[in-house]
Structure 1
């Protein structure tokens, strides 16, 4: 079969669904391919985000659990930062993604599930469509623009020869669990060798009886299996799991996220990359759903406007200019800050988290969101963003920032 659309979107995560919605809303004919059997069939993220971002993006409050306090646990230390109001949240990932899918469908985008893009088509050096395997048979789509929102794999960008494999990334494994009791206003990060050799473990609440317990490990710093590490934490019932009562997993999540900064180029003739494909992830806690939705919408709008100009690299340049101006320097600075914590010993972590006792919840959240300003960095005894590098850790003068999920 052969069909024509203005835009083909590869990937049914938050970036792809948001791009499909915005492009269809702008009048473009859009088809979206999702390789899984359903939108959010496989959850690959813990769903941590920020309430102000979700409000600005119009994500309904019933789709997330608000969090106001933040606990850090190291082998011989424990610190809690209590906020005066909820600023962080844990998303119901499946419900959020399907909410975005219904928005895209209502706007007129065609969504094809269990449909895998096998290759991209090129004409005269530009991307001109995709070839996909679908439940209805093989399909060839001719289009002006392909939006690669395929996530960590960057499948369309790689097939087009525009992007390579990520060399530095986080690998994470997580169980969504029933537990007897948890504080639904508190999320916890656990650091040190017993939790993760190059990353951290976490407990993120969805309610008083439902939590996500996981482990993230940075590659190539460690080749440890995050699932094996997670099983070890559960079997030993390490703190703070010993306070949750009975723990019973009901879902297993596994995923990867890039952790080396942004792609140098995210647009080409007939091709645009967004979300994890573009490296739009905050390195401090490796979250990127807010970026995926915001920049997915930007990609869809700019993509629709580019059609009349042939979806050339030049006509897509606004997308790359806008998103990089907003977050590229923050991501680069956060990546340098993150590097300072790789490989800390248990004793060093015990000292490192002590600085949190003197921080407000707002100060901490602004930092882990990568909302850097020179004033905030100096207040935390860190170099300003433009000079931040990765020297030896200055114990007792830092705040915690972590990596892989």
Structure 2
């Protein structure tokens, strides 16, 4: 008699960390910050089943601060970007001129080889050490291809990209964010939108994983494409760049002004309670004031109503079923009290509670049928990153010519360009 395959039983873990600019001023500081999140997760790791740890959106973006500690102390994102562009002018200027991109994208691309290597190798080492399936969060990552034993960068392209690793630190796959917020577009940090048709689902012992990075998890085209491929676990890494109890209109309808927690019900919670194939969703959110930017939220793990019948929900919303695990906000109270508490914690408030946020870890034990979806073929970009992670290929270091260093006039022009093209809030 043939034994029946067993169900997939695993534990999902969402980490809600607090970041600060100082966490990104050196490779050592970045590794320590990332490790602290796995240390937060460690007490929640299940010894008898696979563990899936999900980190937050854009946790690699502030690596542009690396090596320039002064940039972490200048007070605003705009000043930091301008200072960084001038500091790295010999490397960033040729990219700006050759690839015809904005100053802020040129800066990120010029530093991308070192920062991509640091980000991926840090995540690989943590996945191996803690023995977990790891959604690394997301970071600005260029598009690469392999040429021999070298990675070659596609000109001008810079995605908000989530990377999935297995417990051995090997690449499972990547997902690029499709729907960018205004602050991620040309007038902000200037990222490249990912193609919708490249979204794929990755079968693993911890679910058939589909990634909807922040705003993507709100969008019907993204959720529909993932469900059409059999996604059972939706991962939503998030960096919400606003006070959690503020009102805001989200694209594509900025005129639809709602409390942020009300808007958030239209992402992971809606996908897992009302979807076809999606059974669970994991939504970690980063908190903390990064220079003059405010990040806040409530991390959650959601599922079907029958799996989570206990009524509860985000602040400023009515209790409902579907929350398997939910991190409380910093306080409870009526709407006006909560909004005031959010303003007090926001960057630049000057209040004694400024930058006081709640961090924590959520976990939930999940079960899925044994059957998995077919594994998608690897893209050339994934082959390149896989080779980098195994040591089979390397990223070339940036080079520049001596004539570029004294380009003072162009530097001043570029400085003005940076000031015009960097916005205040690179929210998720």
State the TM-score, normalized to the length of structure 2. Answer: 0.26
State the TM-score, normalized to the length of structure 1. Answer: 0.27
- Give the structure with the higher percent strand: 1
